[in-house]
């Protein structure tokens, strides 16, 4: 957490965060043009922000894009806001602003660090008994490129030939297409016919998990993309992923779910 506060202390780095808050997913060239800073200075500041996990990067072809990452702000909230709630409304506002940031490109990007091993994290993403504990959902698959993935949630089964594994590189990278939106899904989550019709009409999205060892921790980057501009599904997953990944982190680090830990 000291790295986060040190990174935020510099006004130039705060300007970079402000720029990404306005429009996430910018290249180095775009950030330099918008802030009137030398390329070398911007690169150095971005390196500090990335080291503090306030910025995460994703390669799109040969272009490296920079995204604001809300995970450290959530950590600040858990450490300070919950304990001193009446005195730090400004931090609460900052947390809310960062988590509600509209993406410059139609995708969700989130990075978190977990005290675990790549093997254990991989199990947390693919083992049905494990996913059931923090997600309430099981994903059943042969876990090979092209294999179908069946979703089960509280007795509801979602199976579709288009729900498939896209990439499978154990302990490094996993990618699969998102589930179909069915009437049973809408009923389970209390969504009406209008919302169901909206999300069912959107193109099928995909989620990718990148796993990297980071000392005694593992860096997990989640990219959920494949959305059209103004996507309702993107709004839904952007609200759901931070809590879900927090639950996964708690389970891997403590052996308990958040409900049990609380």
Encode pLDDT of 187-228 as tens digits: 988 899 999 999 999 999 999 999 999 999 999 999 999 999
Residue 113 pLDDT > 90: yes
CB 207 within 8 A of CB 175: yes
Q: Does domain 2-105 have CATH number 1.10.10.10?
A: yes
Domain ranges of the chain: 2-105, 111-261
CB 20 within 8 A of CB 68: yes
Instruction: Say which range, 6-10, 167-171, 226-230, has the weakest mean pLDDT.
Output: 6-10
Place of tokens 């450290």: 72
Question: Residue 254: what pLDDT?
Answer: 92
Place of tokens 């698959």: 141
Place of tokens 């993107």: 234
Distance CA 207, CA 226 (A): 9
Overall size of the chain counted in residues: 262
Residue 243 pLDDT > 60: yes
Q: Right CATH number for 111-261 from 3.30.530.20, 3.20.20.70, 3.40.50.720, 3.30.230.10?
A: 3.30.530.20
Q: 135: pLDDT confidence band, cut at 50, 70 and 90?
A: very high
Question: Residue 88: what pLDDT?
Answer: 43
Distance CA 117, CA 211 (A): 10
Residues with Cβ < 8 Å from 35, sequence gap 6 or more? 15, 16, 19, 42
Question: Residue 116: what pLDDT?
Answer: 97
Query: What's the chain's average pLDDT?
Result: 85
Question: Residue 220: what pLDDT?
Answer: 96
55-109 residue pLDDT tens = 888 887 788 888 888 677 666 655 555 555 444 444 444 454 445 544 456 789 9
CB 156 within 8 A of CB 189: no
Question: Residue 127: what pLDDT?
Answer: 96
Two tokens, residue 138: 């099981």
15-30 residue pLDDT tens = 888 888 888 888 888 8
119: left (phi over 0), alpha (psi -120 to 50) or beta: alpha
pTM of the predicted structure, to 2 decimals: 0.71
CB 88 within 8 A of CB 63: no
Question: Residue 50: what pLDDT?
Answer: 87
Distance CA 165, CA 145 (A): 5
**Partners of 219 in the β-ladder:** 113, 212
Question: Residue 78: what pLDDT?
Answer: 57
Run of H or E residues at 213: strand 206-214
Residue 128 pLDDT > 70: yes
117: left (phi over 0), alpha (psi -120 to 50) or beta: beta
Q: Do domains 2-105 and 111-261 have the same CATH topology?
A: no
């Amino acid at each position: 957490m000291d790295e986060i506060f040190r990174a935020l202390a510099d006004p130039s780095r705060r300007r970079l965060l402000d720029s990404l808050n306005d429009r996430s997913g910018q290249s180095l060239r775009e950030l330099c043009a918008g802030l009137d800073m030398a390329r070398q200075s911007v690169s150095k500041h971005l390196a500090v922000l990335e080291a503090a996990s306030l910025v995460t990067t994703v390669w799109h072809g040969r272009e490296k894009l920079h995204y604001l990452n809300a995970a450290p702000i959530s950590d600040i909230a858990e450490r300070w806001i919950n304990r001193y709630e009446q005195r730090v409304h400004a931090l609460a506002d900052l947390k809310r602003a960062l988590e509600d940031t509209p993406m410059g490109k139609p995708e969700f990007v989130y990075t978190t660090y977990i005290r675990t091993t790549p093997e254990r994290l991989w199990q947390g993403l693919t083992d049905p008994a494990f996913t059931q504990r923090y997600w309430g959902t099981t994903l059943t698959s042969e876990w090979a490129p092209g294999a179908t993935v069946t979703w089960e949630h509280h007795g509801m089964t979602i199976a579709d030939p288009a729900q498939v594994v896209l990439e499978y590189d154990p302990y490094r990278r996993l990618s699969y297409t998102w589930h179909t939106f069915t009437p049973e899904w809408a009923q389970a989550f209390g969504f009406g016919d209008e919302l169901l019709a909206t999300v069912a009409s959107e193109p099928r999205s995909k989620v990718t998990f990148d796993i990297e060892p980071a000392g005694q921790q593992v860096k997990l980057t989640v990219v959920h993309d494949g959305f059209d501009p103004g996507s309702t599904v993107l709004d839904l997953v952007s609200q759901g992923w931070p809590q879900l990944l927090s639950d996964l982190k708690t389970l891997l680090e403590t052996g308990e779910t958040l409900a049990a830990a609380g």
